[in-house]
Structure formats: structure tokens, C-alpha cells
Homo-oligomer: A and B are copies of this chain.
Amino acid sequence: MAEHSLWRFSRALHSAIKERQPEVLETLIDDDVDWVIHGPIELFPFLGARRGKATVLKVCWQISENVRVHRFDRESVMLGEDTAASMMRYSLTALDSNKPINLRLAHFAQFKADRLLNIRVLLDTYELVEQSLGHPIRPPKIGS
């Protein structure tokens, strides 16, 4: 059985971020890719929706300029023929502040001919924001 597209894409993405070489993703992204990282784009401009390979390569570059990935653990994973979903836990450093950030994300991805066609990512941005602030947000408690 051939390797699932997810594993190849994941290796290339992490390498692209680590080495700041988004071009290693060139052959793994569909020309018309539909890419969304849900989150507060007014705070983190590299989140949000992107369409098309060139735009997505650019955002991968922006991510590599902003974070260093120390470690990730894939806590849940589901693989379909051309689809994949995971829940992952990341240990990062925000490069501008040198602050450690731990966050969890979930993604749903669709591939076509081994290239990423569609991805939706959900970040635990509360934690991200709190850790960027460096102190708890402390809103009122809800529920009993």
C-alpha cells in the first residue's frame, strides 16, 4: 500500500517551516488549493483563508517567520482514501517574543492526486492568545 498523502505532506510542511523553504511544498499543493486556518486574523495575520498555491506558499513562509516548531504529537488521526483528519498538540516558540507556546489544533484535509486540495484547521487560539499575552485572560466564570 502506498504511503498516505497526509504523511508526505506533513513531513514536507514541517520541513518547510523549520528550514524556511516553502518551495519544498511546491509539488504537494494543488494549484487551486482552498486553505483556511480558523482563528483571530486581526491578531495573527497568517491565519485565515487563502486560495491558490502561490498564496498558500506565501503563508507557509509567514508561519515559518513567526514560529519555531519544537515538537508535535498526533493525538487522534483518521485516514480516508484521499482525506485525513488529525488532532495535534504542538510545542512552539513565537520568534518575535521568544515565548513558548503550547497549542492544540484539529485539521481536516482533502488531497487530489497526492496534492493538498482543501484544508480546514481549528486552533485552540484562547491558549495561543493567553500565552502570547503572558498572563491569563481571566474572563468571568461561566456555568456551575
A-side residues, CB < 8 A to B, are 38-40, 42-46, 62, 65-66, 75-76, 78, 80, 83-85, 87, 94, 96-97, 104-106, 108, 120, 122-129, 132-133, 137, 139-144
Q: Which residue of chain B has its CB nearest to the CB of A122? A: B106
Question: How far apart are A111's CB and chain B's nearest CB, in angstroms?
Answer: 13
Contacts of A85 in B (CB 8 A): 76, 78, 85, 106, 108
Cβ distance A73 to chain B, nearest Cβ, rounded Å: 13
Chain B residues in 8 Å Cβ range of A65: 143-144
Knowing A85-B108, A124-B122, A137-B137 touch, does A78 contact B78 (C-beta < 8 A)?
Answer: yes
How far is A44 from B143 in the complex, measured between Cα atoms in Å? 6
